[in-house]
């Protein structure tokens, strides 16, 4: 089971060349489209909506081509709205202070502490070293993917993939050594399956919770601000977890069938994994403190949901607890505990130097994208776009709109980042639903979850790019497996959203 070194080399060279071409397209296309729309007569739009359309067109081109870092593009778009008098600066930058911004910040700090203290690796090796996993390639694949999906529900998909990628490569290296020692050859497709499981399970697992991946928070923000729909942590989990469980089981069954290892057991692999688990040593004070802070946050996230189940979401008890401890405040409480609880960071579980290393780019991207989405509604641009697209959608206000919204988000996520896909698609979907007189929750939720798919290409997500660089994944196989998972994802999301939303709303 030899690593195909040329695959990564070809991708690196080809990827750099393709990246330069995309950047040139962005640098040339964005200003041309901006000026063209600005001078084009659009009498159906208000002057503010007309100028916003030009700004958003340029932003979308820059996002898709990645000619500039995506957070910078979002900030430029927001600043351009002020300069062009689409809205006053106070209104344009108000979304940067939205409560969901602090959900991002608090959960990112918690995730940073988990990674800093190695809790993610302790969990990964601890599960892989379980007796029932043993030396079976199929059980290793299942446990490896399950751990990846679980971790990804709480920390960034990219960070999860990077961490599990290193563990997966260590497993494959050991398998290669065993092949030579025992004189047998495993199916090379198993290496492909393990690497794809790293990326695909991370993307799937992010759907389980609102903080699992940025598109989830972005979609929830648009639902609340643009559609007036509150969809708290507990309700998301009641849909997200079933989606993840079903989609992950399908992913495992598909990869395991398509890429069997060719051996029923790998002698010594259980010992190797157990040894790696033992290297973690006893629990440190910082690990215990981080688990306590994280558990406190999760409790604060789910308590309002249990109160809603007990007393109803229209009860005074639920309204009181939701107003006092929204998701963003719960995340900040948990993150703040890290600075108070003992650990090895100057005597605390985390220090500011480490906490400040969170992904501020995602925070700024969310703020800028959210600002453009809100402005599209205030100026009437979203309504005009929605009415214009209604004629291209299947008839009816229910399942057809939900399917179209989910598919649209998946297709956009194949050519640009999941975060940009959510920023571009969810506001349009909400406006389409409102223009059609339909409830926007189901299509918006489908589009939000669909934005986290996109499994076909190395450029679809950073997760795909990381594992493709291993050299174990032929491009044709990634596309073939990715298409199947995209289709399965759309079916699962549409089915469960359609079935479960009426039950929990």
Instruction: Tell me the pLDDT tens digit for each residue of 4-60.
Output: 444 444 444 455 666 688 888 889 999 999 999 999 988 888 999 999 999 989 988
Which of 179-200 are b and which e, b meaning 16 or more Cβ less than 10 Å from the residue's Cβ? beeeeeebebbbbbbbbbbbbb
pLDDT tens-digit map of 260-309? 655 556 555 666 667 777 777 888 999 999 999 989 988 888 888 778 77
In a domain, 320, yes or no: yes
pLDDT at 492 over 80: yes
Tokens standing for residue 67: 């000619």
pLDDT band at residue 470 using 50, 70 and 90 as cut-offs: confident
- What pTM value is reported for the model? 0.76
Answer for the pair 406, 450: CB distance below 8 angstroms, yes or no.
yes
Spatial distance between the Cα atoms of 16 and 23, rounded to a whole number of angstroms: 10
In a domain, 31, yes or no: yes
> Does 111 lie in the same domain as 45?
no
> Does 1 lie in the same domain as 34?
yes
> Does 110 lie in the same domain as 29?
no
pLDDT tens-digit map of 152-178? 888 878 778 877 887 888 777 777 766
Rounded mean pLDDT of the chain? 82
In a domain, 347, yes or no: yes
Q: What is the arithmetic mean of pLDDT over 220-248?
A: 89
Among 360, 377, 406, residue at a domain's last position: 360
Among 334, 360, 386, residue at a domain's last position: 360
> Does 111 lie in the same domain as 49?
no
> Does 297 lie in the same domain as 337?
yes
Q: Map 69-115 to HEC letters.
A: CHHHHHHHHHHHHHHCCCCCHHHHHHHHHCHHHHHHHHHHHHHHHHH
- Give, in order, the Cα–Cα distances in Å from 408 to each of 208, 280, 329, 422, 444: 21, 44, 33, 10, 11
> Does 111 lie in the same domain as 74?
no
Spatial distance between the Cα atoms of 101 and 194, rounded to a whole number of angstroms: 35
- Phi and psi torsions of 492, nearest 5°: -65, -45
Write down the pLDDT at residue 93: 92
In a domain, 82, yes or no: yes
In a domain, 46, yes or no: yes
Write down the pLDDT at residue 272: 67
In a domain, 113, yes or no: yes
In a domain, 428, yes or no: no
Which domain covers residue 352, as residue numbers? 99-117+284-360
In a domain, 355, yes or no: yes
> Does 112 lie in the same domain as 44?
no
Tokens standing for residue 266: 């790998």
Report which DSSP code applies to 68.
Answer: S
Q: Looking at the 3D structure of the chain, how many domains does it have? A: 2
């Amino acid at each position: 089971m030899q690593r195909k070194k040329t695959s990564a080399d070809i991708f690196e060279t080809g990827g750099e060349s393709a990246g330069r071409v995309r950047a040139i397209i962005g640098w040339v296309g964005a200003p041309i489209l901006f000026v063209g729309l600005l001078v084009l007569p659009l009498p159906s739009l208000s002057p503010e909506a007309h100028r916003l359309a030009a700004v958003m067109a340029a932003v979308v081109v820059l996002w898709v081509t990645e000619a500039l870092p995506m957070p910078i593009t979002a900030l430029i778009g927001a600043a351009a709205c002020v300069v062009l008098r689409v809205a006053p600066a106070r209104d344009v930058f108000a979304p940067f202070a939205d409560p969901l911004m602090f959900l991002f910040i608090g959960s990112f700090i918690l995730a940073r502490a988990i990674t800093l203290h190695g809790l993610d690796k302790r969990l990964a090796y601890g599960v892989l070293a379980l007796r029932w996993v043993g030396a079976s390639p199929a059980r290793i694949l299942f446990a490896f993917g399950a751990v990846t999906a679980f971790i990804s529900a709480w920390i960034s998909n990219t960070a999860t993939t990077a961490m599990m990628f290193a563990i997966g490569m260590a497993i494959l290296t050991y398998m290669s050594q065993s092949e030579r020692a025992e004189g047998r050859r495993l199916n090379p497709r198993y290496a492909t399956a393990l690497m794809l499981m790293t990326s695909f399970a991370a993307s799937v697992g992010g759907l389980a919770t609102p903080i699992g991946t940025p598109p989830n928070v972005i979609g929830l923000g648009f639902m609340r601000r643009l559609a007036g729909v509150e969809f708290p942590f507990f309700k998301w989990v009641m849909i997200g977890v079933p989606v993840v469980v079903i989609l992950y089981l399908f992913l495992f069954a598909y990869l395991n069938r398509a890429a069997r290892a060719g051996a029923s057991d790998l002698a010594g692999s259980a010992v190797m994994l157990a040894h790696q688990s033992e290297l973690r040593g006893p629990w440190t004070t910082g690990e215990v403190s981080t688990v306590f802070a994280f558990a406190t946050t999760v409790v604060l996230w789910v308590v309002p949901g249990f109160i809603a189940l007990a007393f109803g979401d229209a009860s005074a008890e639920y309204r009181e607890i939701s107003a006092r401890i929204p998701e963003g405040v719960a995340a900040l409480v948990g993150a703040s505990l890290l600075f108070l609880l003992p650990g090895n960071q100057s005597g605390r579980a985390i220090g500011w130097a480490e906490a400040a290393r969170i992904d501020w780019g995602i925070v700024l991207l969310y703020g800028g994208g959210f600002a453009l989405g809100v402005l599209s509604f205030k100026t009437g641009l979203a309504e005009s776009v929605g009415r214009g697209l209604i004629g291209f959608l299947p008839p009816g206000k229910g399942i057809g709109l939900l399917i179209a919204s989910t598919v649209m988000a998946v297709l956009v996520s194949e050519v640009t980042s999941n975060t940009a896909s959510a920023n571009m698609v969810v506001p349009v979907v909400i406006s389409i639903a409102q223009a059609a007189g339909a409830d926007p929750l189901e299509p918006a939720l489908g589009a939000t979850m669909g934005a986290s798919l996109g499994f076909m290409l190395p450029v679809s997500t950073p997760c795909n790019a990381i594992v493709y660089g291993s050299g174990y994944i032929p491009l044709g196989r990634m596309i073939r497996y990715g298409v199947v998972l995209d289709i399965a994802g759309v079916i699962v999301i549409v089915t469960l959203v359609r079935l479960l939303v009426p039950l929990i709303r």
